[in-house]
Structure 1
């Protein structure tokens, strides 16, 4: 007479039977989910393997190390950007839209912008597609090779910096962040005008504007500068 299988073992067997086979795509998406739920510092080969129900050694058949894994996660995120075909009549709007999308997708996954700065030059297929699109827009606008090459770098850096600032909590709650900004404003207001005449005179302007308004100002400044540079 056979011994019945306990219910918990039946459940475990069912879970194993529907478990997805290990693949590079599954590993990268699991790492992204880990980043979204626990933060960049939590992403490790060991933790990703744990979520997949396997050992870390299994992952090394697909990725060399954590740095490569994070680069793949970054490229997955960049793939969320929608790319336009170059239109010389709309090149400024197209550039702005690409940078806005960059900020949006990087901000949607806090911590991933740091990976951009750790990577000398993102070379994943999606990153290359974005660079190709941006350079094609600039070339269609009649910009020189030098301007195109430099501009794509500057625009990417700006978008990354804005995303980092938007997602950095500096270890503060929203209430603490607001209190800190209030303290900064009060500190500036108490500065001696004879030593800092410009800062004190411009204090209302310095403390004005939303994050979005300041981002759009910087973006327009860059694109308008490109409009007068050949």
Structure 2
């Protein structure tokens, strides 16, 4: 069985540490490069420049070092993605599963994940592209699964609900991040306000788009996270069905 990323990181770090006994001491007292510092620097890049700007070279520049020194602690960009999502998951507080309030507990946990994703524009792409194996990421999925089971959801249904809800949260946060990036990149002409959308919808040919014209207000309604709350509740409230 291939080694997991943590084992690969450990082996790489061990090889890096095997320096000749007469190696000269470093010229300056820089803080040592660690997986934690690499993750911190990567999150700073994403918070200020977006996930698209994240490269090993960019993170190395933030740490004032070369890319090769990072590879003593991470395997590749995919490994860094896993560390990033694990760091965010480590900040999520999980409740003791309560059969009487399991629905609200699910909403609360996923709202935490949503807000963490929105803090780092584009980072859901890292979550969508990987199979979770880090213990912190698995801690959160374990906690969500426990809440679903406490609510009386059958195990297979609970497992697929966990997947569906997590995918939706990632997609929701990614869409919000992409819109915000377009606005910040002076590409605002492609981001329409609600008023502009209503105007366009109501101007459509009535014979081809009667429902869109008539319900333009409903199609464009919702403020803050109204649509997020609606969709999660829609999924959760249907889990106890047949």
TM-score bin, normalised by smaller chain: 0.7 to 0.9
Give a deviation string over 1:81-100, Cα, whole Å, max 9, x none.
Answer: 11111111111111111111
CA distance in 1, matches of 2:88, 2:189: 30
Residue number in structure 2 paired with 1:9: none
Q: Deviations over 1:39-98 (max 9, x none)?
A: 212221122222222221111111111121122112112222111111111111111111
Kindly state the Cα deviation for residue 137 of structure 1 after the two structures are TM-superposed.
0.9
The aligned residue for residue 28 of structure 2 is 16
Contact 2:41 2:59 in 1 (8 A): yes
- Among 11, 32, 47, the alignment partner of 1:36 is 47
Larger Rg: 1
TM-score by length of 2: 0.81
Write 1 or 2 for the structure with the bigger share of helix.
1
* 1:102 aligns to 2:102 (yes or no): no
Q: Give matches, 1:1-230, under 5 Å.
A: 16-17=28-29, 19-119=30-130, 121-169=131-179, 171-173=182-184, 176=189, 179=192, 181-229=194-242
Please, which moves more after superposition, 104-113 or 51-60?
A: 51-60
Q: CA deviation at 1:158?
A: 1.2
Partners of 1:177 and 1:57 lie apart in 2 by 40
How big is the shift at 1:177? 6.0
Aligned residues: 213
SS of the residue corresponding to residue 16 of structure 1 reads: coil
CA distance in 1, matches of 2:178, 2:58: 23
1 CA distance for matches of 2:191 and 2:182? Answer: 13
CA distance in 2, matches of 1:100, 1:154: 15
CA RMSD of aligned residues (A): 2.0
What TM-score do the two structures reach when normalised by structure 1? 0.85
